[in-house]
Structure 1
Amino acid sequence: MSLTCVKPTPFTFIVPSYPLRTTVPPLLPSVVVTELFPDIDLSQVELLFPLPRPGGIALEELVIIACLVRHLKPKRLVEIGTAEGRTTLNLALHTPADAEIFTFDLPPTHLGATVAESGLNYRQMGIPEPGCLFRSHPLAGKIRLILADSTQFDWSPFENSVDFVFIDGAHDYLSVRKDTENALRLLRPRGVILWHDYGVAEGVTLWLNELAKDLPLVWLKDTSLACLIRRSEEG
């Protein structure tokens, strides 16, 4: 199923049901995506599996991410938190033909070790296996599914080589912090990191509020997406 969305702005974001809603106030400055990327085209975009699905992001957020990668044309992408692979597929749809997308989720043997503060794992969301939406899809050739704990993974082969990172894995403070620290090592100059569930999940919100003291993070208006653009090698 695909959908062509015409004139997707302004957005009205509805926060999905989430068991760990934060009481921590979001402190990042709120900006519209066109302030960060003035030349981005939000007038029309094709989406695969556009309707909300278990563990998936909101439609409005999917529109922004699809338009953003279409605009940025990243060649190497990392996604932490695959779930069904809905976001992954749309990254594949809107990136260059030679792009590589590495998407990470936990192996089945690690699901029992997740803590409550992390949020639901894919089995708890009713997803039989991560990436089930793209496994037999024609775009699967651009995607590599890696079943590993992203906080323990050896990222050294990816250092300073990634153009776009989407962090939507475990939502507890320590995991988000570790995923972020790893992402900063991976990111090339002018690369982009997006975090999901800012202002929704307590661990995400608390960590990014702290990180914003050192890095120019922003909150994309009417979404739960936080964003960092690496302007130089220093961050």
Structure 2
Amino acid sequence: MCLNTLRRPSKYRDMPRGSIVRLIKWTIPRRFYETLALLRRRSLVPEFTVEGKFISSDLGAKLEHTSVTSAQVELLLEAVRESNELGGPIIEIGSFRGVTTRSLALVAGLHREVVAVDPYLGEGGHEKDFCLFRQHTSNLRNVRHIRAASDQAFRIWNGAPISLVFIDAMHEYLHALYDFEAWGSLVQPGGFVAFHDVDLFSGVNFLCQHILASRPEWRPWAYAPNIAIFERRVVS
């Protein structure tokens, strides 16, 4: 998909709710794809079992301050290790309280930067989440935080290639699609894109189905309950 024609979520989402442009460009497509995703939701296990390198049925232990489990973190860290020779930055879309950010940074080492993208906007506990994020990451020299939405952060990115992107932000199809198409376009051959909540949210699940069916440059690499990781194929 051409990035110039890719629907940028915040461009229309942040328009006034009564806007006819917002209705046509965002509200109607969003509802259409969420309904379609819900109807077509299915298990990703068969495809990953055939081609995947790491397959697990273990959900893992619950960790404090995150919805990512121990088994899911371990798969992520395996991808960090596998992509170490690429040397490019690691991008985390949706950092929440910084637990996975910290884990990624500790394994990546000082020669690889971990860029955490999260705007911490809205009502509720977002400022508390941001404070905990800083507590978990403030002593890590290889962590950089971009306090912006994913599409806004991508617009200011310098175009540098990356080694891994972990997508765990807005879980609706159009948001996840943007994150994949935009940030995934920067992933080097041999690098990875990881999705959280693939079994919990139909939008993310539907996107993974789309990748499996029509994006041969990405191969299913690892799966555990609620996380799926794709590797960009190395073209010889």
The yes-or-no answer on 1:95 pairing with 2:108 is yes
The yes-or-no answer on 1:36 pairing with 2:49 is no
Give the drift of 1:32.
Answer: 9.2
Aligned length: 189
Structure 1 runs of 4+ aligned residues shifted over 4 Å read none
What is the TM-score with the length of structure 1 in the denominator? 0.68
Whether the 8 Å CA contact 1:217–1:228 is kept in 2: the answer is yes
Whether the 8 Å CA contact 1:30–1:219 is kept in 2: the answer is yes
Stretches of structure 2 that go unaligned for 5 or more consecutive residues are 1-37, 55-60
1:222 paired residue among 215, 224, 231: 224
In the alignment, the residues of structure 1 paired with residue 103 and residue 150 of structure 2 have an alpha-carbon distance, to the nearest angstrom, of 21
Higher helix share: 2
Please show how residues 56-205 of structure 1 align to structure 2 within 5 Å.
56-73=67-84, 74-108=87-121, 111=122, 123=126, 127-129=129-131, 131-137=133-139, 140-155=140-155, 157-159=157-159, 161-205=161-205
Q: 1:143 to 1:218 in 2, by over 3 A?
A: same
Alignment deviations for residues 198-221 of structure 1 (CA, whole Å, 9 cap, x no partner): 111111111221232212443734
Give the drift of 1:156.
Answer: 6.2
Alignment deviations for residues 56-99 of structure 1 (CA, whole Å, 9 cap, x no partner): 30111112222331343144110001111111111111113211
In the alignment, the residues of structure 2 paired with residue 32 and residue 102 of structure 1 have an alpha-carbon distance, to the nearest angstrom, of 32
Q: Identity of paired residues, percent?
A: 23
Alignment deviations for residues 137-196 of structure 1 (CA, whole Å, 9 cap, x no partner): 2xx210001110103333464435101111111101110011011122211121111111
Q: 1:199 to 1:129 in 2, by over 3 A?
A: same
Pairwise CA RMSD: 3.2
Q: 2:64 aligns to what? A: 53
3-state SS of the aligned residue for 1:229? strand
What is the TM-score with the length of structure 2 in the denominator? 0.68
